[in-house]
Each structure stands twice: as structure tokens, then as C-alpha cells.
Amino acid sequence: MNQDTAAPGPTPASTDAGAERLVARAVTVRFAGLLALDGVDLTVEPGSVHALIGPNGAGKSTFFNVLSGVCPPDSGTVRFGEKELTGRPPHRIAALGVARTFQNIVLTRGTVAENLMLGRHVLTRAGFTATALGLPGVAREQRIHRERAREIADFVDLGRLFHTPVDLLSYGDRKRVELARALCMEPRLLLLDEPVAGMNTAERQRMAATIAEVRAALGLSVLVVEHDMGLIMRIADEVTVLDFGRRIACGTPRRVQRDPEVIRAYLGAGTDARPAASAPTPAAPSRQAESHPPEPTPDRARPPGTEAGEDR
């Protein structure tokens, strides 16, 4: 479908999502002496919700950074359908249909509408000069993008807040703006890094329902990092578990929840066993664009299946 003439309503931007499988193979990332990802394999089946879980520091966000081009892997490959994503910059990966949200909210100042229009930018045809000069066609294109942004805002239940500055929104609504902005890129694969972290129970349930609707109505594939096993049990088809950068389990939520190695990882067994690369870890290495301020996430002492916040 032509992005500029997307039909009203929560219409998928593309109906060929079924053809596109995300396949990551042997993805390895080192931060100086730290092996953050150690040969990780992961496949997201088209149209499925796949959860990526693991204790704090397991490498989940680093894996997202590899998939979205923020952090090129030291080795390994990532393909989305026929397209090779490995080594491409984030804007190219977004243009190929992979959009993400960040663990920590990254919104610009301005209204909900302005933030969502930033998501449309990746689809904008008019170049910088044409936009600056206000050439014919630019205004029409902008109007079409704005209408689509409005539809997406309505879809995630932010329509009534479309013209509200994001600074005035609740935490839960700001997380929804992030989701809506990613949807504005018309992705076929959505990467959500802890979409309900820090939310109260009602906000979590609302977000879980929205994620389920995204899959059902838009037919997208979703890869979601989440600590809340209640939510995962409810929405995920498949779960991959990382620990110390290694994939230790993969399967249905129910199977993974009972896996002894997964339970051991969450209980903290073997916490001294992090595999190191050749050199010792420096005190403050920095290679990744995303910072990690404290987030209200569970720690290793809480095995999956005992998370608070969601009813089963």
C-alpha cells in the first residue's frame, strides 16, 4: 500500500507482513571486557508476539540496539525477510519496516501530534529543501501524514490528547505516545523495550490490551522485552530467555516458565559465572547510545511467574 494514501482506521501499512520473519543468528556484542551478547539466535515468526526476557543486565536492550542499528554487532547477522539489517543505520532499518521504543522514555518537547509527526518523518517523500520552500505538494503530503498520525493516536487511545504537550501527560500516556510514534513509522515489526515498566496495574492492563490489538488489527510482528511474566503469559506466543548474554531457553511461555535453568537464572545461581571477553571490564565503558537510569524492574531474586502487577 502507498504510505501516502493509507486508508483510514488502523489499517496495516502492508499486508505482506506474513512473508517477513526476523532471523538473528549468532549475534555477539562485546563492551571492552564484557561479553554482553554471546552468539544469540532468535527468530520472530511473522505476525507473532515474541517476548525477550532475562534478569537485569542479561543483554536484552543490547540485543534491541543491534536489531535497530543503534549498536552494530561484533559478529552475527540479522535479517528481516529478504533484507539484511546487519550494519545498517537506524533510519534505514526503520525504513525497512522495523520500529522500536526505548526502555526509558525518549520524547521531544511539543505536543503529541508533533511527536507522532516525527515518526512519520521516515516516510516523508518531500526533501528538506522542498519542505523549507513550501513547494506544491508538500502541504498536501504533510496533511496526509497528519491525518494518519491522528488515526494512530485514536487507535492507541490518545486522540483526545492529540494537541496536548507531552510534558503534561501522565507517565502511562507518555509511554503510549512512544508506542504511537513507533506505529507512525508503519512498521511490520515492532520492538518494545519494557513497554509497561513503571506503570500501575490499570495502565499495564491497558497497554497489554493495546499491544494485543496492534497484533490483531495491524497484523504486525512484535518483539517485546518485559519483566512482567503475567503480561508475557497473556500476550506472547513464544519466549526467548537471555542470561549473561547467552540464550538459555526458548519456547512457549508456559514451558519457559517451568524451565529449571530459567528459574536458576532468576534466583541468581551462578552470578559469578559471567563469561568475559579477553580483557577485564573497564569502570565506565560507553558504546551504546541508550543510557540506563534506574528503572522499577524486578531483580534476580524474583523468578518468572511471580511478578507483581498483573493477574493471570
Residue 144 CB, shortest distance to ligand ATP, in Å, is: 37
Residue 54 CB, shortest distance to ligand ATP, in Å, is: 5
Alpha-carbon distances of 21 from 26, 44, 87, 150, 213, rounded to whole Å:
16, 6, 18, 29, 20
Spatial separation of the C-alpha atoms in residues 9 and 28, rounded to whole Å: 40
Output Rg (C-alpha) for the chain, integer angstroms: 19
Q: Locate 153 and state its grid cell.
A: 493516536
Amino acid 39 reads: G
Say which residues have a Cβ less than 8 Å from residue 152's Cβ, sequence separation at least 6: 10, 116, 180, 183, 184
Residue 175 CB, shortest distance to ligand ATP, in Å, is: 15
Residue 164 CB, shortest distance to ligand ATP, in Å, is: 29
Q: Locate 187 and state its grid cell.
A: 512498521
Residue 103 CB, shortest distance to Mg ion, in Å, is: 5
- C-alpha angle 78-84-219 in degrees, rounded to nearest 5: 75
User: Which of these, 25, 35, 26, 23, lies nearest to 59 by C-alpha position?
Assistant: 35
| Nearest to ligand ATP of 58, 158 (CB atom) | 58
298 binds, among Mg ion, ligand ATP, none (CB under 5 to 8 A by kind): none
User: With the CA atoms of 167, 169, 173 and 179 taken in that order, what torsion angle do they form, in degrees rounded to the nearest 10?
Assistant: -30
69 binds, among Mg ion, ligand ATP, none (CB under 5 to 8 A by kind): none
Is 240 a binder of Mg ion (CB under 5 A)? no
240 binds, among ligand ATP, Mg ion, none (CB under 5 to 8 A by kind): none
| Nearest to Mg ion of 61, 68 (CB atom) | 61
Burial class (CB in 10 A: 0-12, 13-18, 19+), 212: middle
| Nearest to ligand ATP of 31, 80 (CB atom) | 31
297 binds, among Mg ion, ligand ATP, none (CB under 5 to 8 A by kind): ligand ATP
| Nearest to ligand ATP of 112, 231 (CB atom) | 231
| Nearest to ligand ATP of 3, 297 (CB atom) | 297
The residue from 61, 101, 240, 257 that contacts Mg ion (CB under 5 A) is 61
Strand bridging mode 34-44 / 83-84: unpaired
Alpha-carbon distances of 82 from 18, 24, 31, 96, rounded to whole Å:
12, 13, 30, 11
Residue 127 CB, shortest distance to ligand ATP, in Å, is: 34
Alpha-carbon distances of 12 from 16, 43, 83, 124, 155, rounded to whole Å:
9, 22, 20, 18, 12
Q: By rule CB under 5 A, what string of x and - marks binding of each residue 7-46 to Mg ion?
A: ----------------------------------------
By CB under 6 A, name the binding residues for ligand ATP: 31, 34, 36, 54, 56-62, 103, 285-288, 292, 297
Phi-psi region of 192 (alpha: psi -120 to 50; beta: other; left: phi over 0): beta
195 binds, among Mg ion, ligand ATP, none (CB under 5 to 8 A by kind): none
80 binds, among Mg ion, ligand ATP, none (CB under 5 to 8 A by kind): none
Residue 295 CB, shortest distance to Mg ion, in Å, is: 8
Residue 171 CB, shortest distance to Mg ion, in Å, is: 18
Q: What residue ranges bind Mg ion (CB under 5 A)?
A: 60-61, 103
